[in-house]
Structure 1
Amino acid sequence: MKLILITTALLQSLLFASFSGNIVDKNTSAPIINAIISDSIISVKSDENGSFTIDTNETNIHIKAYGYRPYKINFENNTTNLKLESITVKALYLTFWAANTTSKRIKKILNMIDDTEVNALVIDIKNEYGSTVFKTSFEQANSYGAHKNRTNRDIENFMQLLKSKNIYTIARIVTFKDELQASNNPDYAIKKIDGTIWRNHDNMAWVDPYDVRSHEYAISMAEEAAKVGFDEINFDYIRFPAKAGLKFCETNNQENRVKTIGEFLDLAQSRLRKYGVFISVDTYGNICWSNDDNNIGQTVLSLAKHADYISPMLYPSGFASGSFYFEYPSEHPYAVIYRSIKNIKDRIDSKRVRPWLQYFKDYAHTKRHYRKFEVREQIRATEDINTSGWMMWSPSSRYHLNYFVKEDE
């Protein structure tokens, strides 16, 4: 028996090594607390001194800390001093159609990044229809023709270009709204009570979030984005449809919805751990003012348990008349952003909130055009409330350079 125990201990010592390190801020040298250190299987956190130890048989280790760029290290010795680069993400949305090296839109945006505070891009990897921006190695999606309308024929060169400019890259994955996946898998598409496939107002079908096959599909797509070097995976439409009278494979109540979204995110964290990517989740703006799940499976507290960042769509035009005691919330862009994030600070650190901001004409109230003043007021609110940054939504990806140059520059 003693011989067996000694042999087992010896084997474990050969298979696993203990790696230690200290993690500090690159600029201030202050220790970074609660940084997440991971191999492909386990994660540990740094202590109050920024110190950590991880037992692993792998040499590639990833580090994530909120408010910092992701960090990858190949351990060569037992003690390592690591300096992480802080970042406040200031991102523009880049459409599916513009995400390649030859588009006129990307050239303008890259010039803008050179000359302004913008330092990040949100790029469609899988859109609402289910099409992928490049041909992935995910054969299930390819068998449905997801790659046929791709606009990027050289994703490696495209990513190399973005990295050469130190651009923080965010891959947007439209999750449960997916016409291609649903139409090719009617057994787990969301259905109407009569059993036929339900489609929303833009004639798009959804897959059932309760069915784990829909989880596997979206996360496999996220892995494709991680493999080519994206820093963050942004799951959009990671929710149940805001529609009553639909048929699901499980009883559709708040407890089950919230649990299901949490299980999806836990699986995503597990599968994406080996790539060191952050995970963010898009939500309705009114999540900041609700105590329930709004019938879609999302609450601030539940998302904070499973995702790295949450991204409420705090478009002032998206709030009803009377919200914030304003007849027209769209006339008060600063207040909408600031008050909404302040209202959830007891549930999630504002450093883990990165809202979507409005870069389009007010559609709900006075039809006001959102120009430099309105854009800067929204940005100013994120700065004053100390978020992890912002993401700007322009459906066409058309932006004005001077909107992103501060007045004092």
Structure 2
Amino acid sequence: MTTTQRSRPPRPRPGTRPPAPRPRRPPAHRPVARPRRQRRTRLTRRGRLLLLCVLGGVAVGFAGGLVWEPAPDLLAEGLTDGDLVNAERAAGLQIRVETSRAGALDDATLALDGDDVTSRAAVTDTTLTFDAAGLPDGQHRLVLRVPRRAPMPAVQRSWDFTVDATPPDLAVTEPTAALLAGEPARIAGTVEEGVELTFDGEPVEVTDGAFAVDYPEPPAAPVDVVATDAAGNRTENAVTVAVIPSRVTVDEVRSVHVSFYGWATPSLRDPILAMVDRGEITSVQLDLKDESGMVGYPSQIERALQIGAVDPIYDLAGAVAELHARGVHVIGRIVAFRDPVFAEAAWNGGEQDLVLQTPSGEPYAGYGGFTNFAHPVVRQYNIDIALEAASLGVDDILYDYVRRPDGAIENLVVPVLEGTPEQAIAGFLAESDEQLEPYGVGHGASVYGIAATRPTEIAQDIPAMAQHLDYIAPMVYPSHWGPGEYDVANPNAQPYDIVRRSLDDFTAAVAGTDARIVPWLQDFSLGVTYGPAEVRAQIDAARDAGIAEWIMWDPKVTYTAGAYDVLLPPAPEASPPAPAPEPAPSETPAG
């Protein structure tokens, strides 16, 4: 047998270092395998342990009566997550949740904005209903929690929604007054940003919150202006454009009273037109409803027709057209609360509250019948006449008998009166002023001469009334003052003195308001014969008080020739009143 021997390295010589050993290469080998089997074994043991626990718990649960309970199906109506609720929906907002599993909602809880509202919900076997009407504007959150048997987790549904019940801002700023028939018209205004705007259903462009629509002539029917915001809230405005046939304005009112028959009778009307042609007057006052309670033109007001108050003695529209063609301003006079026709019809018709009464329960008989100045129906009746006249082109509305009857207030019963009679009268004028505003007419009230100093005697509080009027027309007729008034011994015989002094009080009474004074003066004889000098004296007294405007009264509509200047210059500043001279003896007129 041959034996193979390994060669050995030579031994080093004495005194030398042995050579450094070579580095040995590790023997070639395969990477050591990871102990996968062992790790799988550990995971399997954990899984088995967990599985055994679960199965054990389930087994115990089933042994104790546990029933597997899947999540209930929930179908909601009336609200969605992210909803935007407008005013119409907010007023009746109701959320209804329905499930197919009976009793699933028995233990449900409901929270609104963090507050438990479960007690407010109506629950049946399969439904839950919650009334959320009337929620304030803003963001809201509604949370429904439906519990299940352990160990199943509860089911929760939530709705985040916003209530916006505020309609968008919409303001119509044009037109501000009545428009002339046949002329171009514009409806303009402002609206809240981000809204949709329509005119009679047609979209209108909005630029920086402003809009304007032009028409070749004023629209005959009301224009339905509608603004709709993102939530669907709507603001509607039916814009009625007041249209008048013509308009005349004057710097100074110098007018004369003309009755129904005064205008209808050529022999009375023609001298009035002659005064116009001579430049003596700038205005004519036409009666609309007079002291009899009759309406003297062909009115279409329903109640006036029902009670037989319309007697078309003259054509108001034709009269206005004729006077405007001459450049003459027209005042329409309405005798307001002295109204025998209305009072009788109301009393006989079972509307006793529309009539002033005595403490014994009878209708007040003074002046033939006096209507209730505090009652809305009576007030609106007079305003309706004013509105009709304004639509026919009358330039000013002047109320007369806008007061209570004179005498002790204890002798009157005023149904539905709240506050004082003075407040009721001022309130009527405020209502009239508001309703007449679209027509741009002047607005005045005739008052007693004593009203400046004795307002409660007839319920005419001048400062309060002036707040709602363009002018106060005090009846400072010299014949209507008693001896000694304003230290004038015989006012009827001293027209200058009584007019001058009384107007000073009225001027002071309207100070601080926008109202001016346009006095009634007298061109008739009562106790003292009046001619050009007496009429002229009153005009001069007004001018010296700083007032160049006036309305002359003559019940016969026969005005004094030679008493009126032509185109008077502007009134000077008021001068101090002259001392009153001693009057000549004369008959004392009735107060």
Query: Shorter chain as normaliser: what TM range?
Result: 0.7 to 0.9
CA contact (8 A) 1:70 1:277 kept: no
Structure 1 residues 322, 18: CA separation in 2 closer, same or farther (over 3 Å shift)? farther
Between the aligned partners of 2:306 and 2:460, the Cα distance in structure 1 is 32
Deviations 1:25-77 (A, max 9, x none): xxxxxxxxxxxxxxx9xxxxxxxxxxxxxxx9979699xxxxxx978xxxxxx
- 1:9 and 2:193 matched: yes
Equivalent AA in structure 2 for residue 269 of structure 1: D
Structure 1 residues 174, 132: CA separation in 2 closer, same or farther (over 3 Å shift)? same
**Match for residue 360 of structure 2?**
194
SS of equivalent residue, structure 1 residue 404: coil
Deviation at 1:388, TM superposition (A): 5.5
**Match for residue 393 of structure 1?**
553
**Match for residue 371 of structure 2?**
207
Deviation at 1:116, TM superposition (A): 3.5
Aligned residues: 342
- 1:228 and 2:392 matched: yes
**Match for residue 252 of structure 2?**
88
CA contact (8 A) 1:116 1:401 kept: no
Structure 2 residue aligned with 1:109, among 263, 272, 278? 272
**Match for residue 333 of structure 1?**
495
**Match for residue 380 of structure 1?**
540
Structure 1 residues 107, 138: CA separation in 2 closer, same or farther (over 3 Å shift)? same
Considering fraction of residues, name the structure with more helix. 1
Structure 1 residues 332, 205: CA separation in 2 closer, same or farther (over 3 Å shift)? same
**Match for residue 34 of structure 1?**
none
Q: What aligned pairs does 1:10-409 form with structure 2 within 5 A after superposition?
A: 10-11=194-195, 14=206, 17=210, 87-100=251-264, 103-147=266-310, 149-152=311-314, 154-186=315-347, 187=352, 188-200=354-366, 202=367, 204-244=368-408, 245-250=411-416, 256-288=420-452, 290=453, 292-349=454-511, 352-362=516-526, 367-387=527-547, 389-405=549-565
Structure 1 residues 247, 384: CA separation in 2 closer, same or farther (over 3 Å shift)? same
Between the aligned partners of 2:250 and 2:399, the Cα distance in structure 1 is 23
Deviation at 1:163, TM superposition (A): 0.5
Greater shift after overlay, 396-405 or 215-224?
396-405
Equivalent AA in structure 2 for residue 166 of structure 1: G
Deviation at 1:272, TM superposition (A): 0.9
Deviations 1:304-360 (A, max 9, x none): 112111001001121111112222112221121222122233332597000000111
CA contact (8 A) 1:353 1:388 kept: no
Structure 1 residues 389, 407: CA separation in 2 closer, same or farther (over 3 Å shift)? closer
Query: Which runs of structure 1 show a deviation greater than 3 angstroms over 4 or more consecutive aligned residues?
Result: 1-8, 10-19, 56-62, 405-409
CA contact (8 A) 2:426 2:461 kept: no
| RCO comparison, higher one (Cα < 8 Å, 6+) | 1
Between the aligned partners of 1:326 and 1:341, the Cα distance in structure 2 is 14
Between the aligned partners of 2:275 and 2:495, the Cα distance in structure 1 is 23
Between the aligned partners of 1:342 and 1:96, the Cα distance in structure 2 is 33
CA contact (8 A) 2:445 2:469 kept: yes
SS of equivalent residue, structure 2 residue 393: coil
TM-score of the superposed pair, with normalisation by structure 2:
0.53
Q: Which runs of 5+ in 2 are unaligned?
A: 1-83, 85-137, 139-161, 170-190, 198-204, 213-222, 224-236, 570-591
TM-score of the superposed pair, with normalisation by structure 1:
0.76
Greater shift after overlay, 122-131 or 229-238?
122-131
Between the aligned partners of 2:324 and 2:495, the Cα distance in structure 1 is 33
Task: State the percentage of identical aligned residues.
Answer: 26
Between the aligned partners of 1:277 and 1:126, the Cα distance in structure 2 is 18
CA contact (8 A) 1:131 1:150 kept: no
Between the aligned partners of 2:417 and 2:432, the Cα distance in structure 1 is 23
Between the aligned partners of 1:86 and 1:156, the Cα distance in structure 2 is 20
Deviation at 1:407, TM superposition (A): 12
Deviation at 1:177, TM superposition (A): 0.7
Between the aligned partners of 1:155 and 1:210, the Cα distance in structure 2 is 29
Q: Which has the larger radius of gyration?
A: 2
Deviation at 1:217, TM superposition (A): 0.7
Deviations 1:266-305 (A, max 9, x none): 11011111111111001001123x1x42332212211111
Deviation at 1:107, TM superposition (A): 1.2
Structure 1 residues 326, 18: CA separation in 2 closer, same or farther (over 3 Å shift)? farther
Q: CA-atom RMSD, angstroms?
A: 3.2
Q: Which runs of 5+ in 1 are unaligned?
A: 20-39, 41-55, 63-68, 72-84
SS of equivalent residue, structure 1 residue 391: strand
Equivalent AA in structure 2 for residue 170 of structure 1: I
